[in-house]
Structures are given as structure tokens and as C-alpha cells.
Structure 1
Amino acid sequence: MTYMVEKLSEEKVFKDPVHRYVHVRDRAIWDLVGTKEFQRLRRIKQLGTTFLTFHGAEHSRFNHSLGVYEIVRRIIDDVFDGRPEWDNRDRLLTLCAALLHDLGHGPFSHAFEKVFDFDHEDFTRAIILGDTEVNKVLKNVSPEFPEKVAEVIAKTSEKKLVVSLISSQIDADRMDYLQRDAYFTGVSYGQFDMERILRVMRPREEQVVIKKSGMHAVEDYIMSRYQMYWQVYFHPVSRSAEVILTKILHRAKQLYKDNYAFKHEPQHFISFFSETENVTLEDYLKLDEAVIMFYFQIWQNEADPILSDLCRRFVNRNLFKYAEFDPAKEYKKLAELNGLFLKAGIDPDYYLVVDSSSDLPYDFYRPGEEEERLPIHLLMKNGELRELSRESEIVDAISGKRRTDHKLYYPADFLADESNAKDIKKQIRTLLE
């Protein structure tokens, strides 16, 4: 299908710390960046609570979305252009999907989703297809264009090659966030030779493949991703902050259901807290991280001791401590700790929390399984395609191996205060050591 592609009179650029420049030549892309729904992403952090661990991690979903767009633009314009396997009529579709792939993320992203049982991809689709500025821009391309873009992001599009550029085990999304997150956190783990990977990418009917000569660059990319997950994304201090964040929202939601009289009514949260009201797209778009932090600030002064304490902890970075925990072996200890916390007057629902993190750095093809993943294929000199782990000993060593980590979070300062329940708190400390 051919879409109306209007070009700008002159190229626009965004200065970018990772890619140097983000180039925009298409009117639709420029107009999408200017929509209020896309500008909202400036107010959503890319790494949620990680800024409380790595102080430089203040970058936004806006930064990242532009970065993913730029990587896809370079692949299409500099690598795929003119190759018979690539249909250049899909260019604008691919660029728009890359730019908008994270459009529906809520404040503090995944923590927020867990509390309210949302999926940001549902809201991405709602923004693209709803009565929004984004929808109007996309419809200027063609009436059916918003649906086509939404299908690519939802991975239901028949254009599987386009989908693979944005969502696969070696896609523009991962290539941008690894480098961007490494840059802003100040670590070196996320660095890899993206220039080399882009040069050896080749289009095929259903996915991007990599020339065999680029295998070592891909190995480096996969190991960079592995290290970033365990050194940055799953950092126990960031997880502590996320635990407190989720408990604040759970507590506020429970108080609202119990008809608690807030000193300042949580207007922005009412549809989220109420089981009788549906959260509208308008409600969702009004709630960003600046709004949430406003409520956390004022909730420090609430009469409810749990809500006020948790908010003070988050705002002032007085986080929970953690202990290693094996739920399969230590479930009896957890039950004992719950009982002791109750005796000490500390609510274990909010102050004794097991948090688990899990990652699968690379997987081969497992048809029919949940979260089925297409593997990375290498293009051999004879034209044959070979799955990456069959050629790489490094990748084979980690293929299909899921690593999981469990931590038990608790307020060490509460346990150190021996003004009451001194003996019980001593027992708790002994169990946590």
C-alpha cells in the first residue's frame, strides 16, 4: 500500500548525546513529535526509580523514542534502501511505529502497571486510534494508517520484517535503550558496536538477519544486555525504591476504598482507585510523574502513618534494606517474620516485601510457548540461515537459561528503634542476618 509521504522543506535535527543527531525529513514524523501525547513522554522517566541509585538516570521516554526512530531510519535509509527484500513503501509506517512504540507508558512505567493491572501497549493503541492529536497526524497520511501503525507495535501486523525492526531479540528498541541507559547511568556495560551491527543487518521476508561476519558484534550486544539487566535494571537499591513506590500506591488505593478522608483529595487517582469507574484515556494522559511526585509530597503530611511514612521514604530516599532470600527454601522463615512483625506493631503487608527479578538474555525458537521469541539468524556465505547459538559458543552457553533473583525488603530503621518490642525486634534482626 502506498501512503502520502510529505517531506519538509528542509531537514530538522535534534541534538542527541547517544546518536549525535536525530534527523527528520518527513512531515508526519515532525508533526508527531509536536503532539501533546508525544510531548508527555518528556515527563515519564525511561528508567523509573533508577535515578535514586544512579543519579544521572533522569532521561525520559521522549529521548529514547527519538533514539529508536533514528536507529530505524538509519537501517532503512542507509542499509536496506535498494535491496530487493525491502519494500520502501513501508518506510513511513516503520518510522512512525518506531517513534510511537512507547507512547502509552505511564508514570514510573512497570511499577505503575503492576499496581493498577494495566498494559502500556493497550494505552499505546488507544492513543494511536483514539481522539488524539497523534491520530489526526496519522490519518493525514491515510485513513487506515493509524490502524496499520498500531498493528506493527502490537506485533499483529502481517509485515513481520517491519515488526522485527522494532520488536525482536535484536531490535532498534534494545539497541537504543542499552546505549542510552549506559550513558546516563555512567556505566560501561551497555556499550557495544552498533555501527558494525547496522552494517551487517540484512532484510529478509519475516525478519532482520545478520551476516555471519558480524557474529562477534552480536555476541557483544547480547552480553551487554545481560550485564545491564543485572548491574542496572535489577539493581537492589532501585528495586527497593520501586517496592516503596508500589506500596504507596497500594496504600492510597486501600485508604480510598475505606473512605479515608484525605487532606487533599486525590483527584488524579479517583478513576484508578475506584472499581466502579473506568479509567479513560483522558485520565491516563493527565497522570505523569510530576503529578505523582506532587501527591507523594503532600501525602507526607497525611494522618495515616503508613502512607505518610512511605511517602517520606520515597521523597527523601530513606529506602528499605534487603536480605538475600530463597522462597523455595525459606518460606517458613518468611511466615515467622510476618508473625514477629505483627507482634512488633509493624504491618508486614507494607514493610516486609519479597521482590523477584528474572531475565532470559537470549532464547532459541520455542514454538507455541508463552512469549514466543524468534531467534537471531546468521546469514552464511552460502546463503543459508543458521540460528545464532548454533554458531556462537558464547551465546550457546546462555541460551534458554533464565536467571532469577529474590530479595527480602524491610525497614532497618524500624528494627533498630528499640523504644518498644525490643526483644521481638532482636529476634527479627537475627532472622534477617
Structure 2
Amino acid sequence: MGKGNRTLKEEKVFKDPVHRYIHVRDELIWELVGTKEFQRLRRVRQLGTTYLTFHGAEHTRFNHSLGVYEIMRRIIEGFEGRPHWDEKERLLCLCAALLHDIGHGPFSHSFEKVFHTDHETWTRKIIVGDTEVNQVLKRMGDHFPQQVADVIEKTYPNKLVVSMISSQIDADRMDYLQRDAFYTGVSYGHFDMERILRVMRPTEDQAVVKYTGMHAVEDYIMSRYQMYWQVYFHPVTRSAEVILSKILRRVRVLYDKGYSFKQEPAHFKGFFNESLTLEEYLRLDESVVLFYFQAWQDEEDAILKDLCQRFMNRRLFKYVEFDQNFVMNEWGELQELFRKAEIDPEYYLVIDFSSDLPYDFYRPGEEEERMPIHLLMPNGKLRELSRESDVVEAISGKKRTDHKLYFPVDLLETKGHEKEKQRIKEILLET
């Protein structure tokens, strides 16, 4: 057994532009913030390549993680003394909120797609592995790190605790919507969180909202919908992500071929060889990745050199929207035309899909079962949100998908292969 947790002699506060102040009274939380694994999150942006679209989006996973902790602290404050809330779960909830994103890597979602890795796996390894975070958590007992990991993985037996950090209305979403709206400068992500927190109540299986707070929840759902389509799936941001992914794929292909790099991809070799250790993973952050991209602008390989120059200097791909008929009828011809024009379609002709389901009711048996938001009615019974709200019912279960085709329009204006390039432009303008 460890020595447990103590209340700090004096409360610590972080000044925060979204929540005004983040309050820390527990020695355990304060020491977790000070670990090297948590401090690493200062060097990982919350929104990846979005800073190339919204120049203010420079905030980090560190900012967000503290914000989620603060919202969780305030939820718990409202639950104290109520039925179904066990005060013994307080510290577990606070630690899970603080550490829920600790496994994210640089430009995490792009990395995960290319290298078939998963930030949730790394989160678990950091929490239960040989780390400073693990040593701090063990002060609450040898079992405590695993419990924190279980909450984040949604396998912890207390469903109420899991719902507070991971559901369709939770501390994580309530922070990132407001924080991302603040730093991108858009108006879409704002909602009345104060009202939601005041009317949130614990039940046996999940946190629910009193019926009187329904309109604040409607506002939250619509904020989420708008943020996904106006910010998270912004086509310019997606263009930067496409180029980032292609850089990583090109480096991997060249490495496998035995290409002689001027700047060896030393930090990536563990990914390539599928032998990446936790220590190696924790050395990766966005400053490291951008160092390589900067250096690879001088490589002999024309594709790697060009893609890195595009990313570093924000010369992004143009995009056109298309439908399924286009893929069936024109895709093959377009790829062949790119090859004839000596523009490699593997790297310069990219289909990208974006899709989001803003809210869904319970669909048992599906791969990802979504616990719906429930309203606590005046008679004490629970009602699923879309059964009471016409606004939410209108978008409930409706998945919106966006199809875009990205390509470098500047390469179609260069000399040579004019016939093929003209036909490419004709096809792309038709979509």
C-alpha cells in the first residue's frame, strides 16, 4: 500500500481562459501534473493540423486535460451527498479525467492510421507501466493504477463513473467543445455548461440531466454538430492531414526499401519495426516530428522533399467534393492519367471521408453501443432525450458523411504532359 492522498496545505490554481481557474486541492493530482509523462502533453497540440486553418488553435492536450479534470471536479461537487454517488470514487474520477488523453502522440490520429497504433493502448501502458505516473498512482494502492485505466477503457464496473468521462455528455466533450471554440475563434462550440452542471444528477448507471435543463442540453448537442463540420472536418485541415499522412507513408516505404536518408528517421524506427517501446514512444512529440519534416525538405527523394515542403510552407492540396458515381465511373481513369502525367496518384490523389453522428439513441448489439442522454422527469422517471426534444429527435441517428478528393493543383499547371493534365482538370471540374 502507498501512503495515500493528502489535502494540500494551500490550494493550487491554474489560470485558464475557458474555466477562469482550475482548482487543485489533492496532493495526488498536483503530483500527477508534475510527472514527465503529463508534462509531455504540453508538446502535443489538441487539434493536430488545425492550426494551419485557424491560426489560434495552438492549445495543447495539457490544456485540455486540466480542463476535463476541472469539469469532473465540479460535477463531483454537485453529486456530493446525493443517492448513487459514492464519495470513495472521487479521486478515481479525478485521476481518470486528468489522465484520459495521456497516451496521445504527435498529430495523433494521422499517426494512428499510418502506423496502426492506438492512443488508448499507450494510455493504458503509461498508467500501468514503469512510469512516474504509475508511481504516483500507486500511493493509493497497487490496484489503483489499473482501476484508473479501467475507467478510461470503459471496463470499470461502476457505469456511473465511466459515463462521467465517456458518454454522449461527459467532462471530456464539455471541455473540448468550449476550448476548441475559444482557441479557433468560432462561435459554434459555446453552450451553457453552468446550467448543465447544476441540473446533472447521478443514477446507478449514468449521469442524467433534470428535465428543466433540456434546452441547455439541446444547445450542447447542436454545438457539437456545428463544431464537427465547421472546425474538426474543415477541408483545409483535412488537406494538411492528408499531406502529413502521406509524408509518414513515404518515409516508411523508403525505409523499407533501404533508402539512404540524409536525416535518418531514428525516432520512427520502432514504429517501422513494430518494436516501439514505451520509453521511445514518450520521446515523440510534435516538436520532434516537425524537426524531421524540416530536415526532410532537403532529401534526394523528390516525393518526400515535396510533401515536406508543402506541409512546412502550407502549400496544401486543393479539394473537390464528389459522390459515389464519380468513384465508380472516373476514379480509374483519373489514376491512370496521373501516372501518365508522372504525378504519383499514391501520394497526390487522395480520397478522404469525414463522418459524424451528432447524437444517437441506444442501439443494442451494435459494435459501439452509445448510451443515450436521459432526462430526469418531475415524476422521478427517466426519458431518453430525443423522445422529449424535437430538436434532438430531428438529428438523432442521422450520420452525415462528406467525400472529398484532394490533389495538388499547382502540378497540373507545370509544363509537360499537357494533354493528360487538361483531361485531369476536365474530370475534376465535372465533380
Which secondary structure state, in structure 1, belongs to the residue aligned with residue 354 of structure 2? strand
Which letter does structure 2 place at the counterpart of 1:99? Answer: L
2:397 paired residue among 397, 400, 405: 400
**1:84, CA displacement in angstroms?**
2.4
Match of 1:87 in 2: 86
Match of 2:37 in 1: 37
Q: TM-score, normalised by structure 2?
A: 0.98
Which letter does structure 2 place at the counterpart of 1:207? Answer: Q
Which secondary structure state, in structure 1, belongs to the residue aligned with residue 383 of structure 2? strand
Q: Give the Cα separation in 2 of the matches to 1:50 and 1:63.
A: 16
Deviates more, 1:323-332 or 1:348-357: 323-332
Which secondary structure state, in structure 2, belongs to the residue aligned with residue 18 of structure 1? coil
Aligned residues of 2:128 and 2:146 also touching (Cα < 8 A): yes
The Cα offsets for residues 255-306 of structure 1, whole Å up to 9 and x where unpaired, read as: 00000000111111111122xx411111111111000000000000000000
Matches within 5 A, 1:368-387: 368-387=365-384
1:341 counterpart = 2:316: no
In the alignment, structure 2 segments of 5+ residues that lack a partner are none
The Cα offsets for residues 64-113 of structure 1, whole Å up to 9 and x where unpaired, read as: 00000000001112x11111221111000000000000000010011111
Which secondary structure state, in structure 2, belongs to the residue aligned with residue 46 of structure 1? coil
1:293 paired residue among 282, 290, 310: 290
Match of 1:363 in 2: 360
Q: Give the Cα separation in 1 of the matches to 2:328 and 2:304.
A: 27
Q: Give the Cα separation in 1 of the matches to 2:108 and 2:191.
A: 26
Matches within 5 A, 1:214-293: 214-274=213-273, 277-293=274-290
Aligned residues of 1:28 and 1:137 also touching (Cα < 8 A): yes
Q: Give the Cα separation in 2 of the matches to 1:429 and 1:245.
A: 24
The Cα offsets for residues 139-186 of structure 1, whole Å up to 9 and x where unpaired, read as: 011111000000000000001111101000000100000000000000
Match of 2:64 in 1: 64
Q: Give the Cα separation in 2 of the matches to 1:362 and 1:258.
A: 45
In the alignment of these two chains, the number of paired residues is 428
Q: TM-score, normalised by structure 1?
A: 0.98
1:429 paired residue among 425, 428, 431: 425
Q: Give the Cα separation in 2 of the matches to 1:15 and 1:352.
A: 45
Q: Give the Cα separation in 2 of the matches to 1:341 and 1:347.
A: 6
Match of 2:174 in 1: 175
Q: Give the Cα separation in 2 of the matches to 1:81 and 1:310.
A: 54
Match of 1:55 in 2: 55
Q: Give the Cα separation in 1 of the matches to 2:23 and 2:325.
A: 51
In the alignment, structure 1 segments of 5+ residues that lack a partner are none
Which letter does structure 2 place at the counterpart of 1:428? Answer: I
Which letter does structure 1 place at the counterpart of 2:422? Answer: K
Q: Give the Cα separation in 2 of the matches to 1:342 and 1:426.
A: 14
Match of 2:144 in 1: 145
**1:344, CA displacement in angstroms?**
0.1
1:96 counterpart = 2:95: yes
**1:370, CA displacement in angstroms?**
1.1
RMSD after superposition:
1.0
Identity of aligned pairs, percent? Answer: 71
Q: Give the Cα separation in 1 of the matches to 2:295 and 2:276.
A: 23
Q: Give the Cα separation in 1 of the matches to 2:3 and 2:65.
A: 23
1:420 counterpart = 2:419: no
Aligned residues of 1:3 and 1:89 also touching (Cα < 8 A): no
Match of 2:4 in 1: 4
Q: Give the Cα separation in 2 of the matches to 1:327 and 1:36.
A: 47
Q: Give the Cα separation in 1 of the matches to 2:93 and 2:356.
A: 28
Which secondary structure state, in structure 2, belongs to the residue aligned with residue 336 of structure 1? helix
Q: Give the Cα separation in 2 of the matches to 1:6 and 1:360.
A: 42
Which secondary structure state, in structure 2, belongs to the residue aligned with residue 222 of structure 1? helix
Which secondary structure state, in structure 1, belongs to the residue aligned with residue 264 of structure 2? coil
Which secondary structure state, in structure 2, belongs to the residue aligned with residue 330 of structure 1? helix
Deviates more, 1:127-136 or 1:422-431: 422-431
Aligned residues of 2:3 and 2:139 also touching (Cα < 8 A): no
Q: Give the Cα separation in 2 of the matches to 1:84 and 1:209.
A: 13
**1:3, CA displacement in angstroms?**
9.3
Aligned residues of 2:92 and 2:147 also touching (Cα < 8 A): yes
Match of 2:119 in 1: 120
Q: Give the Cα separation in 2 of the matches to 1:85 and 1:287.
A: 42
Q: Give the Cα separation in 1 of the matches to 2:155 and 2:241.
A: 32
**1:328, CA displacement in angstroms?**
4.7
The Cα offsets for residues 189-225 of structure 1, whole Å up to 9 and x where unpaired, read as: 0000000000010000110000000000000000000
Deviates more, 1:4-13 or 1:382-391: 4-13
Q: Give the Cα separation in 2 of the matches to 1:316 and 1:331.
A: 34
Deviates more, 1:58-67 or 1:82-91: 82-91
Q: Give the Cα separation in 1 of the matches to 2:147 and 2:106.
A: 27
Which secondary structure state, in structure 1, belongs to the residue aligned with residue 397 of structure 2? coil
Q: Give the Cα separation in 1 of the matches to 2:109 and 2:28.
A: 29
Aligned residues of 2:5 and 2:139 also touching (Cα < 8 A): no
Which secondary structure state, in structure 2, belongs to the residue aligned with residue 237 of structure 1? helix
Q: Give the Cα separation in 2 of the matches to 1:332 and 1:186.
A: 41
Which letter does structure 2 place at the counterpart of 1:272? Answer: F
Q: Give the Cα separation in 2 of the matches to 1:93 and 1:402.
A: 34
**1:48, CA displacement in angstroms?**
0.4
